[in-house]
Amino acid sequence: MDIFQTFENPRRFTPEEIQKCIDSKDFRKIFFEYYIFVLQIITVFVSIKSDSPGINNSSSIFDWGVLIGLLNRIRKTMYAQLPLMTEYKHNEVIIMLDRAILESCLNMLWIIDHHAEEGSKKFIANAIKKDLDLDELVHKTAISQDRELYEVETRLITQRNLRIGESGLNESEIRELAKQYPDIKKLFKENGDNGSMYAFGYTMQSHVVHGDWIGLRYTAYLTRETDSYEPILDDAEFDPVQLYNNIIFIFDVLNKFGYFMLNVDLHTFFEKEKVYIEYFYNKHNELNEIKIY
């Protein structure tokens, strides 16, 4: 299966385009256009049907459903980012969407690496366990108030039962498998992070996502005047560095997804693309005197 016939000529920039970015020390155009190329690759993967003859026969229906669902989430989130990036603004909103992409990538990498230990079912159980907890709360509340379930509560439980039935798991299996799914910090660690990406990347994103004091004061929402705080009304410019980080994670995801689910070895292709885009990442940091530790 050669799904890369469309991409035999991946996105490359002319010497004139590159020199213009070097002279201006601004590589946003390159990262933006390359991001579109990456999105095109993802769209090819998502367009593959579950009954394709190239699909790995040893994978389960849940492997395919979870992985293609997460990949489609990445695709849709990237599409949502594009109009925000066209004016090179809205950095704080782009960061929020980056977070969704990063989490989907980490989940996909872990599930593929642990497919032999039912990684996809553990992912499903980790979500459905929240249904069980809600079910317990609903019944306890009704009993404590000495009443029947409200109609909305009955609907919630009906939906919960449908989700459990679809998973093929019973309640004890759900609780046990959910315990085996890692939290976000462990997902980073198992994907080779020594703690720095979690601390300086994910945790810093959290300030913006949750809108805590650091997120408000030190990103794009508040400025300190002499004796007061005032809102920042202008949109913050987005940093191309965050696109680079997403691209590298996505390439790792597509490489593993292709090998596991489609029986194709795309390692050479993606490693070559990593080297290509890394040049611009390093050049951007060098010219702008940004040190990456």
Q: What is the pLDDT of residue 264?
A: 86
Residue range 259-283: mean pLDDT, rounded? 92
Q: State percent of the chain over pLDDT 90.
A: 57
Q: Scanning the structure block, which residue is given the tokens 């040893």?
A: 58
Per-residue model confidence (pLDDT) at position 25: 93
Q: What tokens appear for 190 in the block?
A: 């198992």
The pLDDT of residue 6: 57
Which of 249, 248, 258, 246 has its CA nearest to residue 44? 258
- SS3 state at 47: coil
What is the per-residue pLDDT across 187-237, written as a single tens digit (0 to 9) for each? 999 988 888 888 877 888 898 899 999 999 888 899 988 889 999 988 888
- Match 């020594």 to its residue by tokens: 194
- The answer to whether 229 and 222 have CB atoms below 8 angstroms apart is yes
**The pLDDT value given to residue 178:** 96
For 180-189, the pLDDT digits (tens) are 999 999 999 9
Residue bearing the bigger pLDDT, 280 or 132: 280
Mean pLDDT of 136-143: 89
Per residue in 14-33, pLDDT tens? 999 999 999 999 998 899 99
Report d(CA 239, CA 194) in Å as an integer.
24
